[in-house]
Amino acid sequence: MSESPAFSIQTRGLNLWYGDFQALKEVTVDIKHGRITSLIGPSGCGKTTLLRCFNRVNERYGYVTTKGEIRLLGKNIYDPDVSLIELRKSVGMVFQRPNPLPISVYENVVFGLRIHSPRSALKRPLLDEAVEKALTEVGLWDDLKDRLRHKATELQLEQQQKLCIARLLPLKPEIILMDEPCSALDVEGTRAIEELMFELKGRYTIVIVTHNMAQARRASDECIFMLLGELMEHTRTEDLFLNPKHPKTAEYIEGRYG
C-alpha cells in the first residue's frame, strides 16, 4: 500500500446495507495519520459498522452490500488486487471483551507471525525478540517476562486486553481499530488502556468506537459524530464538545438522547 502523508483512512460516498436495511449512508471522511479518532453516537447509528468496514470484516456476513470507496494509506481496499489477509495484517482490531487465545502469553504474541511469516522468520531468537518488543510497547514486559509460559486467559482483564493489542504489533499494522475496548474493564483498567493508546498514537493510527462521552473527550484527538447511518460532524474533539456545529451533535453531547 502506498503511503499517504496526511490521512490513513479516506472514504468517499460509502454506503452499506444489511439485507434491505441501510446502515451507512454516503459517508465521506478523512481520518488523519497517527491520531486517535473516536466514533461516537447513539446505539444503532452505524459507528461499529463503519469501523468494521476499514478491515472489511462486515463482508463475513453474506447479506452485506457495500458501495463507495475506502482508501487506506492511499489504496482502495475494494480494488481486485487487494488481499484480505494483507489488509487485516495492516489493520489490526481489538474487541469489546478481551479475547486472548487459551494458550500461553508467548504463543499469543507470536500467533500471527506463525501464520503469516516465512519459516526463516520463525527462528527462536527472532520470536523472542518480537515477544519482548511487543510486550514492552504495551507495558506488560516487566510484569509478564517471567510468566510467558502461563496461560493468557489467567491474566487480569486489563492485562488480557493489553495482550490482545500486543498480539497485533509483530505484524506491523499501520492502523489499530478498537471497538469499545474498555467496556469490560473497571476504572483502573480503563485508565491503563487509555494511557496505552496515548503511548501508541503517532506510530499507529487509532480509531475507537466508544459510548463513553468522557472517554471520547479524554482520549481522542478528533471525534466523528454519527446518527442514523450518517456522518453528522467530524472535527477536533475539543471543538466538537465545546462548540458543536450541528444541532444534533449538541443535543447528543448534552444527553438529550442516545
pLDDT tens-place string over residues 84-95: 989 999 999 999
Tell me: pLDDT of 165 over 60.
Answer: yes
172 to 140, 223, 245: CA distances (angstroms): 18, 25, 37
Q: What is the mean pLDDT of residues 122-139?
A: 95
Tell me: pLDDT of 255 over 90.
Answer: no
**pTM for the whole structure:** 0.93
pLDDT above 70: percentage of residues in the chain: 97
152 to 63, 190, 192: CA distances (angstroms): 35, 19, 18
Query: How many Å apart are CA 96 and CA 211, to the nearest integer?
Result: 11
Helix H or strand E encompassing 178: strand 175-179
pLDDT single digits (tens) 216-228: 999 999 999 999 9
Query: How many Å apart are CA 249 and CA 150, to the nearest integer?
Result: 46
Instruction: Tell me what the pLDDT averaged over the chain comes to.
Output: 93
Residue 226 cell numbers, joined: 454519527
pLDDT single digits (tens) 57-68: 998 888 999 999
pLDDT single digits (tens) 33-75: 999 999 999 999 999 999 999 999 998 888 999 999 999 988 9
Q: Which domains does the chain have, with CATH numbers?
A: 7-97+174-253 (3.40.50.300)
